[in-house]
Amino acid sequence: MVTRKQLGQYWLAQPHIKPKKGKSEVDEWRLGEICKRITTGKTAPRSLYGSSGLHVIKVGNLTGRGIEWDAVERQYLDEEFAKKHLTAVLKKGDILFTAGSHGPKWIGLKVDIYEGAPKHILKTVLASGEIMVCRLNKKLKIDPYYVLLYLRSGGGYQAIQNCIRGQSGHVYPDDVANIKIPKPSQSDSSEISRAILLLKKSLLARKISANADSSSKYIADKLFPSDIKKPIIAT
């Protein structure tokens, strides 16, 4: 048992919020039961990408600390692609994590929530085929940030890792749907609330920083124009 006093003023809640041994189904949610949709996005052919249009979130955009926009090459597709692949279009509150990778250990390592696009990006945003998208059923009124908190934890990472079939670096929606998430207990409610509050503060700070950086870049490019296209620096 880890006491609140031992944790100090600043702490990471994730390692301490995990399923207890012997939990019954009454104490857990199955992800497929609380989600309206669990699916992967859609990967477009290389030739369809352009320099503008609808933003596509790829594995390189996920950080596990918030989405990093314009962090990889080939990020934009036209609206026709979105119309043909509506299941790849994201909605606010969607939880995203790595579903396909060159190595199994990277699966589920980065989990983020889509809160909407920064002001310099069009509102419609897509997910690539290497991203698992979990969309909660809003009618159940389950806080997506609690689910995010769990999936980012050691227990959540292990649950996603358990979905990997064989030696392949992939997980599939049917297996992800069987992930069990412990329901928040009354005894942990204050710590969970604090952890979620800190999580939201962190994501808000990142969003403010991204918008400020984008505005600064726009002004700089307007003041000092050039025909050269700068390469994307991977973060």
Angle, helix 144-152 to helix 189-223, in steps of 10 degrees = 90
Nearest to residue 217, comparing CAs of 202, 209, 227? 209
Q: Is there a domain that residue 4 lies in?
A: no
Q: Is there a domain that residue 226 lies in?
A: no
Q: What is the model's pLDDT at position 12?
A: 42
Q: What is the model's pLDDT at position 25?
A: 59
Average pLDDT for residues 83-101, to the nearest whole number?
94
CA–CA separation, 32 and 148 (whole Å):
15
How confident is residue 18, by pLDDT bands cut at 50, 70 and 90?
very low
Q: Is there a domain that residue 12 lies in?
A: no
Q: What is the DSSP string of 107-127?
A: TTS-EEE-----TTS-S-EEE
Q: What is the model's pLDDT at position 175?
A: 96
CATH number, position 85: 3.90.220.20
Q: Is there a domain that residue 155 lies in?
A: yes
Q: What length does the chain have?
A: 235
Domain span at 114: 30-221
Q: Is there a domain that residue 233 lies in?
A: no
Q: What is the model's pLDDT at position 10?
A: 38
Nearest to residue 231, comparing CAs of 49, 48, 51, 46? 51
63 CB burial (10 A radius; 0-12, 13-18, 19+): middle
CA–CA separation, 94 and 115 (whole Å):
8
- How many domains are contained in the chain? 1
Average pLDDT, the chain: 86
pTM assigned to the model: 0.81
Q: Is there a domain that residue 209 lies in?
A: yes
- For the segment 143-190, what is each residue's pLDDT rounded down to a tens digit? 999 999 999 999 999 999 999 987 777 899 999 999 999 999 888 889
Backbone angles phi, psi at 87, to 5 degrees: -70, -15
pLDDT value at 9 more than 50: no
Q: What is the model's pLDDT at position 231?
A: 66
Q: Is there a domain that residue 97 lies in?
A: yes
Q: Is there a domain that residue 227 lies in?
A: no
H/E stretch holding 228 reads none
Q: What is the model's pLDDT at position 38?
A: 97
